[in-house]
Amino acid sequence: MNRTNKRNNLFHIKWMSKISIAILLSFSFCSFAQQKIPPPPIPSSKKTNTIQSNDTTSKGSLTSEKPALKTSRKQYVNIGYDENYQKLPKLIFETADEAEFLSLEKKKYIETFKPEGEGNYFYIQTRLKKHKFKKHNDYGGKLGWSGYEFSGYYPATKLYAITEHSTSENINFSQLFLLDSLNDYNYNIISFGDASVALPVPSINNKYFVYFYNAVYGHKNCDIGVLKINDKSNPKTYLSEYASYRSADFAVEKIIWKTDNSFIVKGYEEVYENNQWIKKYKYFKTEFK
């Protein structure tokens, strides 16, 4: 074999060796890249200290959980629709007198206190979480008078009373809702008008709630609604419409229960006398089954 052929063979051998090494390196790299690399460990979240309680009136904080504004939509129940009341019995009233009204025991049914707050917000503690609400105030612009207003707590039924305010096209609206301190259900009481209804008054043994709404531009007009308080084992049906009344003869000043199935209304009519509006009071009572 001449020198030229030997040189060519040697060059060919070296060239093939380099290609083989390159192929081996490429295969090794691909195999390594295909191996599963475990992700970095996820840091464990800090536990919150929660105090379990049968009652959560909360003037204090029961948990360190971050306050939240919203509740699951599944936990919102709307009650008090006029179309529902139309299908139910109507209350029948007869006249009563002031002495009978004054003889009734004035039961304290709601606790009022200033809730915990900070800046433009106040907090309501339930068994499940701490809720955050923007305070009712004039925020100007499109918001106008808006926010939430705390009205009190019903210890017998474990319900907070809160009113939501809003402004649209320079008109103020409000709606009352009851927040259950045990399961976070919101019971929105649909108003008969633009403003919220008055605070519901529970019957003697908490069998029913009665509430009213006085017509804004009427002087002797009102709507009265009665809600039945049911078993709380099914939160969606805990409160239900039971009976109602629409009056063109009186507005409501106050309602006091006589029994679980009867109450007396201190009503009035506004009359214009001597350049001023004066309330002239009348009393009415009703009983239902």
pLDDT tens-digit readout, 71-122:
556 799 999 999 999 999 999 999 999 999 999 988 899 999 999 999 999 9
User: According to the model, what pLDDT value does residue 202 have?
Assistant: 98
Residue 37 has pLDDT above 60, yes or no: no
Percent of the chain past pLDDT 90, that is, above it, reads 66
Name 233's Cβ contacts closer than 8 Å, sequence gap at least 6: none
Residue 191 has pLDDT above 70, yes or no: yes
User: According to the model, what pLDDT value does residue 243 have?
Assistant: 98
Name 247's Cβ contacts closer than 8 Å, sequence gap at least 6: 93, 220, 221, 222, 223, 224, 267
> What are the domain boundaries of the chain?
73-287
- For residue 156, give the amino acid letter: A
Residue 47 has pLDDT above 70, yes or no: no
pTM beyond cutoff 0.85: no
Where does residue 224 rank: exposed (0-12), middle (13-18), buried (19+ CB within 10 A)?
buried
**Neighbour count for residue 188 (Cβ, 10 Å):** 15
Backbone Cα Rg of the chain: 35
- 3-state SS assignment for residue 66: coil
pLDDT tens-digit readout, 8-21:
444 444 444 444 44
Cα–Cα nearest to 287, from 250, 262, 251, 268: 262
Placement of tokens 């195999």 in the chain: 31
Residue 40 has pLDDT above 70, yes or no: no
Cα–Cα nearest to 98, from 285, 286, 282, 259: 282
